[in-house]
Amino acid sequence: MVSKRDRQVLDFEGSWWLFPGPKDQAIREYLEMSATRYYQVLRRIIDEEGAFDHDPLTILRLRRMRRQRLDQIADRVGSAPKT
């Protein structure tokens, strides 16, 4: 089960570009939390089954983005010169 706040975060992430101004400002105004807390919540709920049931497209996009970031990090670490 996904909490009401988690659903609000997912709904916002799925349509944040519709809000006026910078994303971090919209997070503060509409969700009443800091951008840091917002991303902490988002990272926590990305693997919750209920979150996927609530908004599968947003969850799939976030998982894909996370996988790409991890692949980039792995590539950098793998290509570091050995001493």
What is the residue extent of each domain of the chain?
A: 4-78
Rounded Cα–Cα distance for residues 13 and 17 (Å)? 9
Residues in the chain: 83
Per-residue confidence (pLDDT) for residue 20, from 0 to 100: 85
Whether 59 and 15 have beta carbons less than 8 Å apart is answered as: no
The angle subtended at Cα 14 by Cα 17 and Cα 18, nearest 5°, is 25
Give this prediction's pTM.
0.81
The pLDDT tens digits of the residues spanning 27-74 come to 999 999 999 999 999 999 999 989 999 999 999 999 999 999 999 999
Rounded Cα–Cα distance for residues 13 and 61 (Å)? 10
**Residue 28 tokens, joined:** 């503060």
| pLDDT of 11 higher than 90 | yes
